[in-house]
Amino acid sequence: MTETESVTEHHMAPEEEHEEEYALFRQVMADLEGDVLIEGSYVHKQPRRLFFQVLPDKLRDVVQYFMTTHDMWQASTLSGRDLGDDLQANYHFFLNDQKIAITLRVNVPRNKPEYSSITDLMPAFEFVENELRELFGVIPVGHPKPRRCELPENWPKNEYPMRKDWADPRGLMQRSKTTGPKKPEEY
Amino acid sequence: MTESDEPRIVIPPRVTIPIGPQHPALKEPGMFKLTVEGERIIDAEVNIGYNHRSIEKIAEGRTFLQVLYLAERICGICSATHNGTLAQAVEAAAEVEIPERAKFIRTLTWELERIHSHILWLGVAFHEVGFDTAFMYSWRDREVVMDLLETLSGNRVNYAMNTIGGVRRDVTDSLKETLLKGLDKLEERMKYYRDVAIYEKTFWNRVDGVGVLPNKIAKSHGAVGPTGRGSNVPTDVRFNDPTQAYVHLRDSGEFEMVLSDREDVAGRAIVRVVETIEAVRMCRWLLHNLPDGPIRERVRPRIQPNEVLARYEAPRGEVIHYLVTNGSDKPERWKVRAPTHANWVSMAYTLRGGYLADAPIILAAIDPCFSCTDRVVLVDAEDETIQLKPLDVLRAESNKWYESRT
């Protein structure tokens, strides 16, 4: 994905009616200067949604900061994304005191997709971090229980089906797209 | 045989019992490795991922309207949940405001679905503790809400009520009367089941103090929905992060989050039963305050690039749809986190220390829904050479096999 496209994806909220979100956003950006990138962090137009772009090696510090300073305990989920050159891990949390959902995301390069796991800080991520490793090949280093989670036990190595360039060696996606009844000779 | 004066203390050996993925007592494929010492469970491990359907990957090749119906098929019980949450996500991505009446009808479907799902759970819980009379009674009364849903949407299971930009069917005045009448009956029956669950010893003695999930663990392990609220964790998206008509429901001040500090299976049961009665009241409030107007807004099929985090409180807990759009009519990335997936993490903790005989009710207490859990990649693999057979090929082969037999 090119830079111009990724910018248009972010819909910044206007200041009015988002005062609480902006107050939290400014506080976080001031407290975490250097750990959180300005580019990619913003307040979304949808009410109560913040997004932060975090440096991969600073993720643990940022999560600890939120846990101590903002009493963050509700871990929602983790979604992976394939951005082309980079792979992305989006950690979704919900701050129950401020009632704001925040997303911390890290970009890792495709040729070395590694960052340090936060499952030991928040055990709720045990399953989803395994899921991310299986489906996107992004490795949360230091995961306490790396094991099979979603894919079959005999799934071949180095195949990550949710990546955009997954070759689909067995032609499943092609065949699942059939729209009408097949002709008999196609069977 | 030699006799000894000193009594021998026999330490029972540790045995690991695998339950599942295929097991007569499990309705769906999950695997629980329980290590027991005598009757006590001392360790538990949860394995999932036996029924992948690749819905997230398939969705990337389909238009939003097609994905809407695909989302409905993630789960049969929560069909309106995923359908409505995706519609909500797409509308947020397109920055479209849907008509008020559509919001109310969407919420009404969601709440009716909550009633049917909770009564279903109650029946399962009664069944798991061996109280089959109450199981049959509660499922008989579940038919009332199933009929209401059928009159409302035309379908018993996959309601297909939502579309991108609103809802597909209107609520007429005569339908409103039918719904109100049905809700009265449901409320009366639910109050009876609440008393059965609390005062009937057959049920209560089996769930009291069983499957304890302390508040601290529930928080750190991310328990959601009635599982979390039964341990006094205030997570309810309807009140914390309301969308649709829940904003009005919250502002009316008549409804409150149902919490229990019992931290055991009984707490989860009370939360669900009381929540059902609340849901009936919510439905009635929605019907009485239903605004006039259109039920649908037109939305262009191509959605601007955007990223949306849509949340909704499903009967089992918080549902999250993270949708990234890229300007085309197909999603760039669509991630679904269904509530059961979040509840598995605390499951192993809850099982530890309990009796083996209590395992079924502890497992049932989170209201596990396997279709919630396994939905990422469909593979039907055999040994090293992976042969993948789509449904149509499989069907053709099975037809051939039957033909060759005759």
Distance CA B82, CA B71 (A): 6
β-bridge pairing A114-116 and A139-141: parallel
Distance CA B312, CA B320 (A): 7
Report CB contact under 8 Å: A48, B305. no
B22 DSSP assignment: S
How close does chain B come to A134, measured CA to CA in Å? 10
A172 and B CB contact within 8 Å? yes
Distance CA B36, CA B43 (A): 7
CA angle B91, B92, B96 (to 5 degrees): 55
B78 DSSP assignment: T
> Which residues lie below 8 Å from residue A111, measured CB to CB, with a gap of 6+?
none
Residue A42 has pLDDT above 90, yes or no: no
Distance CA B363, CA A168 (A): 36
- Per the CB < 8 A criterion, the answer to whether B104 and B290 are in contact is yes
- Per the CB < 8 A criterion, the answer to whether A141 and A117 are in contact is yes
Report CB contact under 8 Å: A126, B345. yes
The alpha-helical segments, DSSP class H, found in B74-131 are 79-94, 100-128
- Compute, in degrees rounded to 10, the torsion defined by CA atoms A22, A23, A26, A28: -110
Query: One digit per residue, pLDDT tens: chain B, 406 residues?
Result: 455 677 777 676 788 888 877 777 677 777 888 888 888 888 888 888 787 778 888 888 889 998 998 888 888 888 899 999 999 999 999 989 999 999 999 999 999 999 999 999 999 889 888 888 999 999 999 999 999 999 999 888 888 889 998 999 999 999 999 999 999 999 999 999 999 989 988 889 888 888 888 999 888 888 888 999 999 988 888 888 888 889 998 888 888 889 998 888 999 999 999 999 999 999 999 999 999 999 998 988 888 898 899 999 989 888 999 999 988 888 999 999 888 888 888 888 888 888 888 888 888 877 776 655 554 433 333 333 344 455 566 566 667 777 776 6
Which residues does chain B have within 8 Å of residue A88's beta carbon, measured at their own beta carbons?
A: none
Distance CA B28, CA B23 (A): 9
- Per the CB < 8 A criterion, the answer to whether A35 and A55 are in contact is yes
Residues 354-383 on B with a CB inside 8 Å of A are 374, 376-379, 381, 383
B130 and A CB contact within 8 Å? no
pLDDT for the residue numbered A172? 60
B326 and A CB contact within 8 Å? yes
Distance CA B366, CA B289 (A): 33
Three-state secondary-structure class, residue A88: strand
The alpha-helical segments, DSSP class H, found in B253-330 are 265-288
At residue A173, what are phi and psi to the nearest 5 degrees?
A: -65, -35
- Per the CB < 8 A criterion, the answer to whether B235 and B319 are in contact is no
- Per the CB < 8 A criterion, the answer to whether B267 and B261 are in contact is yes
Residues 107-166 on A with a CB inside 8 Å of B are 122-128, 131, 135, 148-152, 154-156, 161-162
Report CB contact under 8 Å: A99, B241. yes
Options 3.40.250.10, 3.30.460.80, 3.20.20.80, 3.30.210.10; which CATH number does A3-165 get? 3.30.460.80
The DSSP H or E segment spanning B7 is: none
The DSSP H or E segment spanning A107 is: strand A100-109
- Closest among B324, B50, B74, B94 to A80, alpha carbons compared: B324
Q: Which residue has the tokens 């069909």?
A: B79
> Which tokens sit at B28?
């769906």
- Closest Cβ–Cβ partner in B241, B305, B320 for A8: B305
Q: Report all structural domains of chain B as residue ranges with CATH numbers, in order of start.
A: 57-340 (1.10.645.10)
Q: How many other C-beta atoms lie within 10 A of the C-beta of residue B288?
A: 9
The DSSP H or E segment spanning A155 is: none
B248 and A CB contact within 8 Å? no
Which residues does chain B have within 8 Å of residue A123's beta carbon, measured at their own beta carbons?
A: 220-222, 345
User: ipTM of the predicted structure?
Assistant: 0.85
